[in-house]
Amino acid sequence: MKKKHLSAREAALLALESVLEEGAYVNLALAKVLSGHALDERDRRLVAEITYGVVTYKLTLDWIIMQLTGRPADKLDRPVLLVLYIGLYQLFYLDKIPAPAAVHTSVELIKKTKKRALAGFVNGVLRGALRRKNNLPWPDKKEENTAEYLSLRYAHPLWMVKRWLDRLGPEETEKLLAANNMAPPVTIRVNTLRTDRESLLSRLAAEGVEAEASGITPEAIIIKSSPGLGSLASYKDGLFQVQGESAILASRILAPAPGSRVLDMCSAPGGKTTHLAALMQNRGEIVALDIYPHRLELVKANARRLGAAIITTVLLDGREITPGQYGLFNYILLDAPCTCLGVIRRKPDIKWRRREKEIGILAALQKELLERAAAVLAPDGVLVYSTCTNEPEETTEQIDSFLERHPEFTSSPFTVSLPPTRRQQSVYGGIQLYPHVHGVDGFFLARLRKAGR
């Protein structure tokens, strides 16, 4: 069936309707719109830029609309609000789009909706934005207003900003907020079951992909530009997996030996699971758990594509596994459910979905999963606990509490090479990664060893 052609702004409007009205995840909404409509590569990039940009800066755009219209954003008709988001994002955050073009395309966009009669209103608001762009009453940066200023300037919920200010101070918090609003690099992991990094780099170059080797892990490649990774023959041939560098580190830190028994307690969609199989040279056994059947199907699909033959998927809550079911494991990876506040730069909608009370709820779940991991880990076994967040209740405090409850466990050292120094460093216990410090997703990684008999 022939795909319908849309302009970039029309496509962005469709994606934003899914995200902001129907609660869809931004990456899935965008993928659905892009796959279902005909757009050239330049327009596809602009659709992604506008969609992610609006979701990233939603709080600030709401405030700008209040200043310009005198009414709260949520009181506007939905099509009008979404079109204003698209226009204002271009005016305030996209220098490469000429201001007259941003205004004109927004007015034309509202004319294609059921609210076409409000084209004059949209035009007036956006022209008012041009006049007042440099004279809006932003809160100042005085100490008593620091949280409000940072929340508005960097579009993060106030509760989140206050937590980070208490822990990191104003300078580090501002750097973290700024990093969260920057588009992250796309990274892939070489599937060493089928190729090596140098060979894959050559193959990618032949496919029109600009890429370079990562200095953090030997399997990682940073993509500079690409016509679309999922459409490449090298992807379909199972030569690589799209995966962040922090996530790649989790499996490398576990470092399971070939021939061992491994448990991946929260495995979907299978990036880390298939990496474990590669590290084990497809020798041994990996039991991969998840609680959602459709997500386990993703694990199976990735395992087939990558040739990871030692993975057995099991529909089971990790809190329910017992030694009597599957025996004991030499290695366990617990990539635990968490607030995901370390990957905001990849998933900006997380900022608006999360509530502060969820930190405690998820910390309780993580504790239960750790207790089960302790019960099914063999003597002298290794457990890696990872979360893509930087909240102490889910990271350092979680592990400190676990070690107090389980004297049979001790911190197990590992080595990493991270920016900004890129020097190899020894880590005892755990390491907290931050996007503004290390240039990677915000992850916490801890390696623990259980005493032998």
388 is catalytic: yes
* Cβ-proximal residues to 154 (8 Å cutoff; 6+ apart), any chain: 161, 174, 177, 178, 180, 181
Report phi then psi at 386, rounded to 5: -135, 145
Contact between 401 and 389 (Cβ < 8 Å): no
Contact between 213 and 248 (Cβ < 8 Å): no
Structure-token pair, residue 37: 């409509």
Catalytic one of 266, 338, 340, 388: 388
* Cβ-proximal residues to 204 (8 Å cutoff; 6+ apart), any chain: 211, 221, 232, 234
pLDDT by position in tens, the chain (length 453): 566 778 899 999 999 999 999 999 999 999 899 888 878 888 888 999 999 999 999 999 999 999 999 999 999 999 999 999 999 999 999 988 999 999 999 999 999 988 888 889 999 999 999 999 888 998 888 767 899 999 999 999 999 999 999 999 999 999 999 999 999 999 999 999 999 999 999 999 999 999 999 988 999 999 998 778 888 999 999 999 999 999 999 999 999 999 999 999 999 999 999 999 999 999 999 999 999 999 999 999 999 999 999 999 999 999 999 999 999 999 999 999 999 999 999 999 999 999 999 999 999 999 999 999 999 999 999 999 999 999 999 999 999 999 999 999 999 998 887 877 777 777 777 999 999 999 999 999 999 999 987
Using CA atoms, how far apart are residues 177 and 345, in angstroms rounded to an integer? 9
Superfamily of domain 186-242: Sun protein; domain 3 (3.30.70.1170)
97-148 per-position pLDDT tens digit: 999 999 999 999 999 988 888 889 999 999 999 999 888 998 888 767 899 9
Class of domain 245-450: alpha beta
Sheet holding 240-242, edge to edge: 210-213, 220-225, 186-190, 240-242
Q: What is the pLDDT of residue 231?
A: 87
Which ranges of 223-292 does DSSP label H, i.e. alpha helix?
A: 233-236, 245-254, 271-279
Contact between 241 and 271 (Cβ < 8 Å): yes
Dihedral angle at the C-alpha atoms of 92, 95, 100, 101, nearest 10 degrees? -110
Ordered DSSP codes for 124-152: HHHHHHHHHTT--------GGGHHHHHHH
- Strand, coil or helix: what is 247? helix
Structure-token pair, residue 316: 């089971």
Contact between 377 and 326 (Cβ < 8 Å): no
CATH code given to domain 4-132: 1.10.940.10
Q: What are the residue boundaries of the structural domains of the chain, listed by start?
A: 4-132, 143-180, 186-242, 245-450
Q: What is the pLDDT of residue 342?
A: 97
